[in-house]
Amino acid sequence: MRDREDILSRMTLQEKVSMLAGSDMWHTTPVKRLGIPAVKMTDGPNGARGGGGFSDGVKAACFPAGVALASTWNTDLVERIGQALGQEARSKGASVLLAPTVNIHRSPLGGRNFECYSEDPYLSGRMAVAYIKGVQSQGVGATLKHYVCNDSEYQRNSISSEVSERALREIYLAPFQAAVQEAKPWAVMASYNKVNGTFASENPLTLTEILKEEWDFDGVVMSDWFGTQSTVASVKAGLDLEMPGPAAWRGEKLLQAVERGEVDEATIDESVRRLLRLIARTGAFEHPDEEPERLIARSIKLWLVKRRRRASSCSKTNTMCFHSSPKS
C-alpha cells in the first residue's frame, strides 16, 4: 500500500491542481512522475457501458432500471445485482461506477424517474445501501447521485430547488444519509441544480457541513458532467473533482487562484487526499494498467436458463410462482 501522505508531500502545486479535474470524458488525471494512475469511470444508467461513446463500443449487459429494482422490495437481490454490476464495470476497464441514483420521484413527468428508485425516501435508502454494498464488494467504487434535490425535469440544469429544512432532511437527504452512513460509498456526485439559491456543486451547507462533517463522508465529491459552475467557490465548498476533463474551471484558473491567495493550498491538499484514497481503494496503485474492455455474457445466460427452468416447473404443476432472487 502506497503511503498517500508521502506522495502528497512530494507533489508540486501544479500536480495537485491537475488532479482536481478529469483528463477526458471518463478518466481522472494521472501524475506519472509519482506513479499516480488515472481512474476510469463508467455509467449506464442500468449497466456499465464501455468508453467508446453513448451508442458504440463493446457491448454491455442491460440490467433492470432502478424503479424496477425498487419494485421488488428485495434488498438481497439488489445487492447481488450490484455485485454483477461491479464485475461489469471491471470488464470495461473501469473502477468507479456512476450509480446509484437516489433522487425522489416527484412527478410522473420526470424524465429520469426510471433510474431512481421511488417516491419513498426509506425505500430508496434501503435499495441504495444494498446496491452500493454489492458494487463495492467487487473492488469498484459506487457513486451516489445526484446530490441533492435534482428531482425536477423543468430547467434541470439551472433550477433552484426551494426546500424547507424539514423537507430537505426528511425527504431529499434521507436516502443519501442512509447510503453514506451504512454503505460508505467511495464517491458522491453533486447535482446540476441550485439548492435554495446556491448551485449544488458549490454549496458549502450540503457538501461540507452535512456530507463531509455531519455524516463523516471520506470519499470523493465529483461534479455531474459539465456541472461545475465556478473555480474558487466550488473548491472551497467541497467539490473535489470537476468532470469531465479537460478542466474548464480548474487547471490554470485554480492554480492562479491559489497563487493569489483566494484558495488555501490546504484546501487543495484535502481534495487530493480524497482522490488518492479513491485510487488506493480501487487497487489502481497496485494495478495501474487499464484492462481492455470485454463483454461478459456467461453469468447472465446462466441466470436466464435458471429462470426458464423455474418457470417451466411452475407451469407443469399449475402453480403461481414468484422468484425474486437469482439463487439456484
Tens of pLDDT along 279-308? 999 999 999 999 999 998 744 454 544 555
When pLDDT is averaged across residues 156-182 and rounded to a whole number, the result is 96
Query: Active site includes 56?
Result: no
Tens of pLDDT along 196-217? 999 999 999 999 999 999 999 9
Provide φ and ψ at 273, rounded to 5°: -55, -45
* Long-range CB pairs of 71-75, under 8 A, 24+ apart, other chains included: 72/324, 73/123, 74/324, 74/325, 75/126, 75/127, 75/129, 75/130
Whether the Cβ atoms of residue 113 and residue 160 lie closer than 8 Å to each other: no
Instruction: Give me the torsion for CA of 149, 163, 113, 293, rounded to 10°.
Output: 0
**Catalytic choice (224, 240, 264, 289):** 224
Task: Report residue 320's pLDDT band, with 50, 70 and 90 as the boundaries.
Answer: very low
When pLDDT is averaged across residues 75-86 and rounded to a whole number, the result is 97
Q: Considering the entire predicted model, what is its pTM?
A: 0.90
Query: Which range among 59-68, 206-215, 263-272 shows the weakest confidence by mean pLDDT?
Result: 59-68
**Per-residue pLDDT at 137 exceeds 50:** yes
Fold of 4-294: TIM Barrel (3.20.20)
**Per-residue pLDDT at 104 exceeds 70:** yes
Structural domain boundaries of the chain?
4-294, 297-328
